[in-house]
Structure 1
């Protein structure tokens, strides 16, 4: 069955989605210091760049009116980017030369997704590209028939391979290439689940209190790195590390950085546990050192519009901005990262 819709029905759905996204702006803009008690946050530099990034430029602009709010990114070895466009429910391919092609559109829920927790519109969120050539995407709709983990394979219609709770908001998606398992954060339920690449029934992996929200969105971005799953908590402004123990058990959650209000997605730079992370409402990208201190390397002056995710290929940095609250110019920014010893 084709997942294409008429222009009229698509426009109605998109209008609802964009309106709902705008309605969520107050919650995003109100992000403040973490409500939960943690160690005092480190001092932050307010100086942009600090000599770490160069050749900063916007290479792609998206259509906000069509719901093209870029949410998450997966990079292929050749520099091709696969991107989820949240409110349009699309997966787009962007070539190294900047050519964009829509690979797939996820099916629209019958009710328009109005029951989607917190946001009130259906959205495509986390994405990873696996060695088998398939792309895996998370989809939240507020309905039991569509919410879950979807596989997008070349030449085939998108297929849901794992159902996830309709009352949750699956958001971050991370692949453990060794175990061939996917880890899924839920920003509303405050959990991490795991599913094999083959799909099937999800297993709840962690319900640590550090994953919970304080009223908006909790556990968010996710990456597997150095024997652990790393997760951000948007509401609490924290970067977490959860060791992956024997037989895929979750270890004790460790708070690695605090004071990062609005932290969304992140990527490791290749220099130990150092990361680049996006701060959504503050319109910043920060560089977080292993000791938890951070410095701002990009801000609104560079063109950020509510940055949602970041990825690295060598020293090339890719940053997506969804414009959820700024409501202008959702885009893809690229830059060169310096100061690495690789």
Structure 2
């Protein structure tokens, strides 16, 4: 989520004193250790790493929001630009007022998809082909919205995008076409924040045949089952009191334990399937307003966008392991 005006930061700081729930660790649950920053970025150049998709070789593809770039970062920190989204002459993007590239998803053939919020007709989902050709818009989304988190269900051939302003999860064919408002409702809408900081549904992951989303203003983690006919099931609340949650990643493919980026407090929380959660990484570990998480094997990848701190946007790696039972 890109930087929002100062009142939102004040609100976030106040909320942090009372909203973050913690739970004691129980034997046998995952733990996180050995955090290390592998790449640093330049905030002044708009290089705020917002979202992440992993490559088969263990490198990470990141969206750099206000730079409008997608970059690849190796595990050793070497960075190269994959694509730059086209500039917009007069962006009228809600929340931030500038064109920003946000969510990212990767197909098995190497194609990347990103969400681009501009406040113009260029708002929508863009495809970045693995051959290095220029990015191409494959679906237009409402200019009044703020398309954010993105995930791909390759089996069904569809993309899901979270609209943080319109409180909607959009569904779009991965080959392009007209979007469908797949899920809506109060649980997805922004709330309880100044107008310029109203950010509802934000992070989005496709996991175990369900679309999981976060609501930043509400501090919730939600699950929406994909029915056999492709329609959305009811919206289930799976965790609450996750202060300023942004995006998240699941620790294992067959379980619902997640690592969630709590961007306002520069923390990562381990969220158990029963909704209990505890902080496992903090600013002391190198976090600077983390915005997303990806996990592969025993490694967690965590981009920090530095939207509020404005210091040291980076990519941090940490070890994920199974804690021994007491």
TM-score, normalized by length of structure 1? 0.87
User: Which of residues 32, 37, 48 in structure 2 aligns to 1:53?
Assistant: 32
Segment drifting more, 292-301 vs 92-101: 92-101
Query: Is 2:236 aligned against 1:254?
Result: yes
Distance 1:281 1:46 in 2: 22
Tell me the secondary structure at the aligned position of residue 253 of structure 1: strand
How many residues matched?
Answer: 311
List gaps (5 residues or longer) in structure 2: none
> Which residue of the partner structure matches residue 215 of structure 2?
233
Residue-by-residue CA offset, 1:11-48 (whole Å, 9 max, x unaligned): xxxxxxxxxx66524314413659xxxxxx8841599x
Distance 2:63 2:170 in 1: 20
Maintained 8 Å contact 1:42/1:292 = no
Cα 1:168/1:327, change in 2 over 3 Å: same
Maintained 8 Å contact 1:56/1:302 = yes
> Which residue of the partner structure matches residue 171 of structure 2?
194
> Which residue of the partner structure matches residue 128 of structure 2?
152
Tell me the secondary structure at the aligned position of residue 36 of structure 2: strand
List gaps (5 residues or longer) in structure 1: 1-20, 35-40
Q: CA deviation at 1:125?
A: 0.3
Query: Is 2:41 aligned against 1:62?
Result: yes
> Which residue of the partner structure matches residue 314 of structure 1?
297
Question: Aligned-pair RMSD on alpha carbons?
Answer: 2.1
Q: CA deviation at 1:131?
A: 1.1
Matches within 5 A, 1:1-342: 24-31=5-12, 43-45=21-23, 52-111=31-90, 113=91, 115-144=92-121, 146-153=122-129, 154-214=131-191, 215=193, 216-270=198-252, 272-339=255-322
Distance 1:285 1:42 in 2: 11
Q: CA deviation at 1:97?
A: 2.7
Residue-by-residue CA offset, 1:291-321 (whole Å, 9 max, x unaligned): 1000100011111110001101101011010
> Which residue of the partner structure matches residue 4 of structure 1?
none
